[in-house]
Amino acid sequence: MKKIDPVVLKETAFIAAFTIIFSGIMQAVFIALGAWGYKVVLGNLLGASGAVLNFFLMALTVQKSVGLEGDEAKTKVRFSQMGRLFMLAMIAIVGGVAPCFDIVAVLIPYLFPRIAIFFRPYFNKKG
């Protein structure tokens, strides 16, 4: 097994940090709306964990695909994308079916990595 590239770990840590920050903001919004409870906390934990894991697995797949030939790399990335989409769908289904989760709190964290990626250039110390 190949060693995980430090860039993958660094970027995943960035995504995780932003996800934690945005999760706190989301919790505050639920509190302000009067809709906060343990279901929101559990849903947030489930959705945020899935979102960060999705990003990590995507970055790991890209790392492993860099040295591969064209079609082999393309197949690996597509298979990974399908698997990760299935994983996120299963998390969403569990969050919607299990009575201990708030489905909205499960789904909103799926957006946090995209927001973090949008803001990433502003945190780049090299320029």
| pLDDT tens-digit map of 75-121 | 888 999 999 999 999 999 999 999 999 999 999 999 999 999 998 88
| pLDDT tens-digit map of 19-51 | 999 999 999 999 999 999 999 999 999 999 999
Model confidence pTM above 0.75: yes
Q: What is the pLDDT of residue 126?
A: 64
Of 42, 39, 43, 10, the closest CA to residue 126 belongs to 10
Residues of the chain with pLDDT > 70, as a percent, come to 96
Tokens matching residue 2: 């190949």
Q: What is the pLDDT of residue 69?
A: 80
For CA atoms 42, 45, 48, 50, give the dihedral sign.
negative
